[in-house]
Amino acid sequence: MAGVGLTESELTFALRVKQCRQWRGWTQVGLADRLRVHGVNLDQAAIARIEKGKRRVLMIEALRLAQALETPVSQLLKSVNCDHCKDQPPAGFACPKCGAGSATA
């Protein structure tokens, strides 16, 4: 992931945003729409840059991303490694790497 001098935590956050969005079957446009409901105006291109580690996330954006993704901020800061299955998918979702968790909502 080519970053803009992001820290490891920032890169982890970026990966987790993408992972969580994909677990929910949402597009970047869909996430952008949900963010607007929470008072944050990020378009699809901005979300793509965040997910690729090419854009820093402001604190308020991080909080609103977590709200829009219906997950705690702490979940978005956990490393993405699996090792069966330390990624702990959110309720109703399966880990894309090992399949652990419940894929039914």
**What is the rounded CA–CA span in Å between residue 78 and residue 81?**
9
Under CATH, what is the fold of the domain 8-77? 434 Repressor (Amino-terminal Domain) (1.10.260)
Pinpoint the alpha helices (H) of 1-105. Answer: 8-23, 28-37, 44-51, 59-68, 73-77
Neighbours of 102 (CB within 10 A): 11
Phi-psi region of 81 (alpha: psi -120 to 50; beta: other; left: phi over 0): alpha
pLDDT tens-digit readout, 21-74: 998 999 999 999 999 999 999 999 999 999 999 999 999 999 999 999 999 998
Residue 104 pLDDT: 44
Residue 93, amino acid: F
Task: Give the model's pLDDT for residue 78.
Answer: 82
pLDDT at 13 over 60: yes
Q: Where are the domains of the chain?
A: 8-77
Neighbours of 18 (CB within 10 A): 19
pLDDT of residue 105: 38
Amino acid 86: pLDDT: 56
